[in-house]
């Protein structure tokens, strides 16, 4: 944990920079300038832990007051990791009564704070976000913001209150805050590659962790501990991870796709602990401007790793990578522009620095619609690969597809169950 980084797993509309920053004017809250801001973390996995450290480093007049998770051991592991990472750099002492466990414990955690970090598996995000907005809390929430269209609509409904209440919301689509991406984006906006007409965005890798079933676990506990492999709580890796690359396409084009068609399946990752998700997706997204974006994501060991975005314009080509390789060439291969990395600050840290600076100044960053649009783009891609059909945006976002059970408790039955052999039903394109 000495160098916590988010899983190498950003906002749509025509906004030109990482988040919409509104001027302070009359709604500047003087009480925010010098007060000690209380932080709560909802979701104590690796991302919640890393975000907590980054939030504590972003502003020295803050206090971590509550941790919340479904599992006590994960909460304690997170707390210890935060202490180890900071190693006395910042004092952290969360009261035992504020180490909260259970499905509804997020409410108390949110009630206790000024700023909440929402980092549970994404199936729970819409309800957590809605409650935090109703309670007028500033929010850092991880991507994606939902796992189905129903959840996206819930987030967009809450977004109306975000604007009304002047709440700051940063979504963990960190490429929008990464200095190299912002530099290249400026060049594209000034017309260096002309009009973007096509592109390819990729997240191809060997995959992520697996938490195998343990004796004595209920079906619900097993699925929640192995959450990456179940759509109701994860959304499939095209939603949970590839969202970053899809958002870059939306961002640079300044629009979201209107149709999607594609293919996918399970060729390698199809064991008993691999739930119901695919191990590869390919989607062709068509945008209102006429641009076509080719989307690839793959989780297959032993294959080529490729995580990047390539955007082709009428006058040149942009090559982007979260690892720092960013450049622009003309169609003859001549270099037009290359970003000089210098001593770049981590985009994960920049997200929190900007969030707390905006809170202190009485301004507003609102990434809600950006996060929702990126999430819906990825969900539409999943719909296309699972069905083999041509999916239209307007139909997709209005789909009646609530995957997440209401009012969950440990006695709840998860929405998908295995057969007698421990296998789950897998989508079959065309059927």
Are 196 and 251 contained in the same domain? Answer: yes
Q: Which two tokens stand for residue 265?
A: 């399946």
The verdict on residue 421 lying in a domain is: no
Q: What is the mean pLDDT of residues 243-262?
A: 98
Are 168 and 261 contained in the same domain? Answer: no
Are 380 and 268 contained in the same domain? Answer: yes
Backbone angles phi, psi at 132, to 5 degrees: -65, -40
For CA atoms 43, 44, 48, 52, give the dihedral sign: positive
For residue 186, the enclosing domain spans 179-344+376-397
Are 278 and 354 contained in the same domain? Answer: no
Whether the Cβ atoms of residue 291 and residue 250 lie closer than 8 Å to each other: no
Are 272 and 360 contained in the same domain? Answer: no
Tell me the CATH number at 203. 3.30.360.10
Mean pLDDT, the chain, whole residue set: 93
Whether the Cβ atoms of residue 223 and residue 233 lie closer than 8 Å to each other: yes
Query: What percent of the chain shows pLDDT beyond 90?
Result: 90
Backbone angles phi, psi at 21, to 5 degrees: -105, 115
The verdict on residue 7 lying in a domain is: no
Structure confidence at residue 110 (pLDDT):
98
Tell me the CATH number at 153. 3.40.50.720
What pLDDT digit, counting tens, does each position of 299-347 carry?
999 999 999 999 999 999 999 998 878 999 999 999 999 998 877 799 9
C-alpha to C-alpha distance for 388 and 405, rounded to whole angstroms: 27
Are 339 and 359 contained in the same domain? Answer: no
The verdict on residue 1 lying in a domain is: no
Q: What is the mean pLDDT of residues 168-173?
A: 98
The verdict on residue 406 lying in a domain is: no
The verdict on residue 405 lying in a domain is: no
Q: Does 24 score more than 60 pLDDT?
A: no
Structure confidence at residue 12 (pLDDT):
33
Q: Is 132 helix (H, G, I), strand (E, B) or coil?
A: helix
Cis peptide before 144 (omega within 30 of 0): yes
Structure confidence at residue 31 (pLDDT):
54
The verdict on residue 14 lying in a domain is: no
Are 276 and 364 contained in the same domain? Answer: no
Are 313 and 363 contained in the same domain? Answer: no
Are 246 and 260 contained in the same domain? Answer: yes
DSSP state of 345: P
Structure confidence at residue 60 (pLDDT):
92
Structure confidence at residue 62 (pLDDT):
98
Q: What is the mean pLDDT of residues 127-147?
A: 98
What pLDDT digit, counting tens, does each position of 211-243 carry?
999 999 999 999 999 999 999 999 999 999 999
The total of structural domains in the chain comes to: 2
The verdict on residue 305 lying in a domain is: yes
The verdict on residue 153 lying in a domain is: yes
Are 90 and 183 contained in the same domain? Answer: no
Are 152 and 235 contained in the same domain? Answer: no
Structure confidence at residue 32 (pLDDT):
66
Question: How far, CA to CA in Å, does 237 sit from each of 8, 144, 150?
Answer: 12, 10, 19
Structure confidence at residue 431 (pLDDT):
93
What pLDDT digit, counting tens, does each position of 384-429 carry?
999 999 999 999 999 999 999 999 999 999 999 999 999 999 999 9
Are 360 and 335 contained in the same domain? Answer: no
What pLDDT digit, counting tens, does each position of 28-84 carry?
444 567 899 999 999 999 999 999 999 999 999 999 999 999 999 999 999 999 999
Question: What is this structure's pTM?
Answer: 0.92
């Amino acid at each position: 944990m000495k160098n916590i980084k988010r899983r190498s797993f950003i906002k749509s509309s025509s906004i030109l920079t990482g988040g919409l920053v509104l001027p302070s004017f009359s709604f500047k809250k003087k009480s925010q300038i010098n007060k000690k801001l209380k932080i709560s973390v909802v979701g104590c996995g690796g991302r919640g832990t890393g975000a907590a450290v980054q939030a504590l480093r972003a502003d020295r007049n803050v206090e971590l007051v509550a941790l919340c998770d479904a599992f006590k051991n994960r909460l304690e592991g997170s707390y210890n990791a935060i202490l180890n990472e900071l190693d006395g750099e910042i004092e952290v002492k969360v009261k035992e009564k504020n180490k909260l466990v259970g499905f509804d414990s997020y409410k108390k955690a949110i009630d206790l704070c000024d700023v909440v970090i929402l980092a549970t598996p994404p199936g729970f995000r819409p309800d957590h976000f809605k409650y935090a907005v109703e309670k007028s809390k500033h929010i850092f929430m991880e991507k994606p913001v939902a796992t189905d269209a129903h959840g996206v609509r819930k987030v967009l409904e809450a977004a109306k209150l975000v604007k009304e209440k002047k709440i700051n919301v940063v979504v963990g689509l960190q490429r929008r805050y990464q200095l190299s991406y912002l530099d290249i984006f400026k060049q594209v906006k000034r017309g260096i590659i002309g009009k973007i007409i096509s592109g390819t965005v990729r997240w191809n890798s060997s995959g992520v962790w697996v938490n195998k079933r343990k004796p004595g676990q209920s079906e619900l506990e097993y699925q929640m501990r192995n959450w990456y492999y179940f759509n109701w709580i994860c959304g499939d890796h095209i939603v949970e991870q590839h969202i970053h690359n899809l958002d870059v396409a939306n961002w640079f084009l300044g629009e979201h796709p209107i149709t999607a068609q594609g293919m996918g399946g399970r060729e390698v990752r199809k064991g008993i602990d691999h739930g119901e998700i695919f191990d590869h997706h390919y989607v062709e997204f068509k945008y209102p401007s006429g641009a076509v974006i080719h989307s690839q994501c793959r989780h297959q060991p032993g294959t080529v790793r490729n995580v990047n975005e390539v955007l082709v314009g009428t006058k040149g080509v942009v090559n982007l990578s979260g690892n720092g390789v960013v450049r622009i060439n003309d169609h003859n291969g001549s270099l037009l522009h290359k970003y000089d990395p210098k001593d770049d600050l981590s985009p994960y840290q920049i997200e929190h620095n900007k969030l707390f600076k905006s809170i202190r100044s009485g301004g507003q960053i609102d990434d809600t619609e950006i996060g929702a649009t990126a999430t819906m783009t990825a969900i539409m891609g999943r719909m296309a690969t699972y069905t083999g059909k041509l999916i239209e945006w307007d139909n997709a976002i209005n789909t009646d597809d609530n995957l997440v059970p209401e009012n969950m408790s440990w006695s709840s039955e998860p929405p998908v169950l295995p057969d007698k052999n421990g296998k789950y039903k897998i989508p079959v394109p065309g059927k």
